């Protein structure tokens, strides 16, 4: 796994040079694109799962080349009292279908137990991939998403944990991956006023999807509103509001987001 991470880092370092080496005088639009945005959110809720219960900052960077893309996203609690998360995603768009593989990294900063074991103060564990950690440092998920087309505007996503979703077996005590699975159905549309409304329903399809719920259960009912706010002719903000219900856990969240 460490070799894969090093190969990814090398690819990302070489990619800009490869692209910029192309003829800059070409009249054709460059296939290479960079997108960056950021949000401040009152909480972070992922598919009905509360990840951060405090105000947090979320940067979002995407590099794309034709259909391939690399995304880096993170959240950090503004008071720095809670754990943070950094997600690295490799993906490819096939028309309305997107394939993604996500590595969710949970940095461990400071003189933690593992840092003491390795005699390295401030060890964050970026290249630590051990099943016995049971997701404390890394979790990985494979996802496929149908983004909808004009004749069928619904979005459909299926994701399965491939690493870091492990627990001890009740009989043998051996640590085994559970491969928890989630299916999400979504729909969005824009009003004449410019507000974008979105709806999501997420469920676990079968027994064993223990990260979200055990057995078939609805874990996420989300209604979202995204509203642009014009500040000047060249600068605007985006207000997001998400009303989220997790029927399985009997939880209700109302999350505010401010996008830049």
What pLDDT digit, counting tens, does each position of 167-195 carry? 888 788 899 898 999 999 999 999 998 89
Q: Does the pLDDT at position 117 exceed 90?
A: no
What six digits make up the tokens of 150?
A: 């004009």
Q: Does the pLDDT at position 16 exceed 50?
A: no
92-108 average pLDDT score? 95
Per residue in 33-69, pLDDT tens? Answer: 999 999 999 999 999 999 999 999 999 999 999 999 9
pTM assigned to the model: 0.83
C-beta separation of 111 from 120 below 8 A: no
User: How would DSSP label each residue in the chain?
Assistant: -HHHHHHHHHHHHHHHHHHHTS-TT-SSPPSEEEEEEEEEES-EEETTEEEE-S-EEEEEEEEEETTEEEEEEEEEETTS-S--EEEEEEEEEETTEEEEEEEEE----SS-HHHHHHT-TT---TT---GGGTTSSEEEEEEEEE--BTTB--EEEEEEEEES-EEE-TTT--EEE---EEEEEEEEEE-TTS-EEEEEEEEE-STT-TTT-SSSEEEEEEEEEEEEEE-SSS-EEEEEEEEEEETTTTEEEEEEEEE-
pLDDT band at 94 (very low <50, low <70, confident <90, very high): very high
Q: Does the pLDDT at position 29 exceed 80?
A: no
């Amino acid at each position: 796994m460490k070799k894969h991470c090093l190969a990814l880092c090398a690819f990302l370092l070489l990619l800009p040079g490869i692209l910029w080496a192309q003829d800059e005088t070409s009249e054709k639009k460059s296939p290479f694109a960079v997108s960056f945005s950021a949000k401040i959110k009152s909480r972070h809720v992922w598919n009905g799962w509360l990840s951060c219960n405090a105000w947090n900052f979320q940067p979002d960077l995407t590099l794309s080349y034709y259909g391939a893309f690399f995304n880096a996203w993170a959240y950090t609690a503004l008071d720095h009292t809670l754990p943070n998360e950094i997600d690295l995603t490799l993906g490819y768009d096939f028309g309305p279908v997107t394939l993604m593989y996500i590595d969710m990294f949970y940095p461990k900063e400071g003189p933690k137990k593992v840092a003491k074991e390795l005699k390295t103060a401030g060890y964050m564990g970026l290249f630590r991939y051990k099943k016995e950690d049971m997701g404390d440092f890394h979790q990985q998920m494979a996802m496929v998403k149908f983004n909808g087309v004009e004749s069928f505007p619904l979005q459909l996503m299926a994701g399965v944990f491939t690493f870091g979703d492990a627990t001890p077996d009740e009989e043998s005590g051996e640590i085994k991956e559970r491969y928890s699975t989630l299916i999400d159905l979504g729909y969005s549309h824009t009003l004449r006023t410019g507000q974008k409304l979105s709806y999501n329903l997420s469920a676990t399809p079968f027994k064993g999807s223990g990260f979200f719920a055990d057995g078939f259960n609805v874990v996420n009912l989300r209604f979202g509103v995204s509203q642009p706010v014009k500040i000047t002719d060249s600068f605007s903000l985006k207000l997001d509001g998400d009303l989220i219900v997790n029927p399985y856990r009997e939880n209700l969240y109302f999350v505010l987001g401010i996008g830049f």
